[in-house]
Amino acid sequence: MLDFFDIKPAMKTNKKLRINLESWLSSEYERIEYRMQAMLGRRTLIIALMALVLGLTAADMAALGVMAQALEDALHMNNAAFGFITTIATLAGALATLPISILVDRWKRVPLMILLTLIWSVGMAWSGLIHTYQGLVLAQVVTGISGISLGAVIASLTGDYFPPSQRGRIFGLIVSGEMFGAGLGMVLTSVTMDFFSWRVAFWLLAVTGFVFAWVIWRYLREPTRGGMGAIAKDSICPEGQQGNKGRRIYALIEHGNIEPHMHRIIGADPTNWSWIQTARYILSIRTNVILLAGSVASYFYFAGLLTFAVLYLMERFELNTDAASMIFLATGSGGIIGVLMSGWLADWLLRRDVIAARVWTSAGAFFLAVVAFLPAFLLPELPVAAALFFFAALGLGATNAPLNAARLDIMHSRLWGRAEGLRNALRYIPVAFAPYIVGLISDLVDTGSRVQRQGIGLGLTFEFLLILLLVAGVMMFFAGLSYPRDVATAIASEHATAEVAKEQ
């Protein structure tokens, strides 16, 4: 009987291993024929579809932000009650992603993506039909469950569609869809509300979701699982064996004495592990826990901004909904640029022998966001504040792509779905309370009427919450220290399970 983690049954020796991370991370010197390489001719379509689906889920929260004043007036809510809608929907999605992520590791992922997109669309259509506060909460619970679960599907598909050396840039393109979707949802909602109403805005987003589901069914094909084992085979270098001295990262690995954690090498296929067994293993990876904490901080702040940024701009600078939405869209475009730049930068640094580049790129992005947000919420002049918001959005957006790629690097491929599901649950449970907490604190700070508030409460609330981003940046530096060995452990695990599969 194997031990708790099925450790090392395929290892033929107790000798220490050295891992050549260049085979794993550096595309310029990559010699392995990756099994999904034939599909990369369609990479633009694959990236676009996954980016659009991810953007669709972000469009809901952004649309709610634009509808804030209209919904508060129509359903007689205050800021805290409005924030609670997103809180309960996100909380439901965080809990539902745990069982759904099991399906991600065991079922075909493209049909699952289609199903979740259809459910999301039904929830949006239902949101446009409600007449009570309770009805809106229930409808948004449906969209929250399906929207959050789509993240695990997309992460797992990305890992099998694209080799590790390209994941920083690929995730940059895909995650940019989340930013683009938020902006597009904001624009469509604002324009639709001008000519029709918030109900029609919900229905328009629902129709968009149904169209996306059809496009996925028509054009996206299921990738083959198990490509990571082929790459891992060329990365294993038993002690005493000479490696490829022409590879610069190999020299760094040998000089730094980077070895896998032998006690965490998985030697048998973990697909059918129980949830408790899976969760204990995933949370035993130090880098993963730190990346999770950073992700929580980033998305907590992002969720609060998406929900209340338009309302803040309206109150602070006395703008109407359209003007506030356009300014938020313009400044938020920095987030798209940040996502794209950070993924490219991290991969560029990897090719120059900075092994923990993905983690440290995210650390710098957190600090940039803090430095830009801090004065932005204090300034009364819109042009200067907008410029700072742009750079702050760039920094906040830049935290995501490298972290997404790094999480796949340190995890066995047959655990990607459940690892992402567990991350979503642990991330979104606190993030679920972000809109409610932001709304509650702002209500406590601002006790006057909407006309008297001038966005002071929301501005001070966002200033106070910057401590989360600062702490996350510091934590990323510690993650950079543990990241190389955790990547090496994932590679050794892929190799071991591939060897067992061959023998069977």
pLDDT per residue as tens digits for the range 391-423:
999 998 888 888 888 888 888 877 877 887 888
Winning range, highest mean pLDDT, from 118-127, 151-160, 171-180 = 118-127
Distance CA 405, CA 501 (A): 26
pLDDT top residue among 404 and 13: 404
pLDDT at 499 over 90: no
* pLDDT recorded at residue 455: 66
> How much is the mean pLDDT over the chain?
75
pLDDT tier for residue 16 given thresholds of 50, 70 and 90: low
| CA 445 – CA 79 distance, rounded (Å) | 12
pLDDT digits (tens, 9 = 90+) for 194-222: 787 778 888 888 888 898 888 888 887 87
Q: What do you get for the CA distance between the two ends of the chain, in Å?
A: 17
pLDDT at residue 234, rounded to an integer: 46
Nearest CA among 277, 292, 294 for reference residue 396: 294
Q: Is 3 a residue whose pLDDT tops 50?
A: no
| 196 DSSP assignment | S
Question: Are the CB atoms for 167 and 154 separated by under 8 Å?
Answer: no
How far out from the chain centre does Cα 79 lie? 26
> Given this model, what pLDDT does residue 409 score?
82
Instruction: Say if residue 376's pLDDT is above 50.
Output: yes
Confidence of residue 13 (pLDDT cuts 50, 70, 90): very low
The pLDDT tens digits of the residues spanning 51-71 come to 888 887 777 777 777 776 777
Cβ-Cβ contacts under 8 Å for 284 (sequence gap 6 or more): 264
Per-residue pLDDT tens digits for 425-477 = 887 777 777 777 887 888 787 655 544 455 677 888 888 889 989 988 898 88
**What is the spatial distance between Cα 116 and Cα 425, in angstroms, rounded to a whole number?**
17
Show Cβ contacts of residue 186 under 8 Å, excluding neighbours closer than 6 positions. Answer: 59, 62, 63, 65, 66, 310, 325, 328, 329
Measured CA distances, 269 to 107, 155, 198, 283 (Å): 15, 19, 49, 18
- Type of residue numbered 286: R
**CA nearest 71: which of 144, 140, 3?**
140
- 67-76 long-range contacts (CB < 8 A, ≥24 apart) are 67/189, 67/193, 67/198, 67/201, 68/307, 68/308, 68/310, 68/311, 69/311, 69/314, 69/321, 70/193, 70/197, 70/198, 71/136, 71/198, 74/198, 75/132, 75/133, 75/136, 76/133
Q: How far apart are CA 88 and CA 81, in angstroms?
A: 11
Instruction: Report which secondary-structure segment, H or E, holds 10.
Output: none
Output the pLDDT for position 30: 43
Task: List, in order of start, the domains of the chain with CATH numbers.
Answer: 37-226+275-497 (1.20.1250.20)
Amino acid at 458: L
3-state secondary structure 234-260: CCEEECCCCCCCCCHHHHHHHHHCCCC
Q: Quick one: 75 exposed, middle or buried, by C-beta within 10 A (0-12, 13-18, 19+)?
A: middle
Name the 3-class secondary structure at 351.
coil
